[in-house]
Structure 1
Amino acid sequence: MGKHKPIYDPSSDCGDYVVVINAKHVGVTGRKREQKLYRHHTGFPGGLKEATMEQLQQKNPEKIVEKAVSGMLPKNRLRQVRMGRLLVFPDGEHPYADNIMKRYDTKIPLVTQPID
Structure 2
Amino acid sequence: MLEMIRTIDDPNVAYAFVDEGCYGKKGLDSVRLSMKKEGILFYLDSVGADTPLQFSGNYFSNEEQWLKKVDKLKEKNINYIFSARKKQAQFFYLTKTDLRGKTFNWQNANQIIALFR
Larger radius of gyration: 1
Does the TM-score normalized on the shorter chain lie above 0.5? Answer: no
Query: What is the TM-score of this pair, normalised by structure 2?
Result: 0.24
- TM-score, with normalisation over the residues of structure 1? 0.24
Which structure is higher in helix share?
Answer: 2
Q: Which has the higher contact order (CA 8 A, sep 6+)?
A: 1
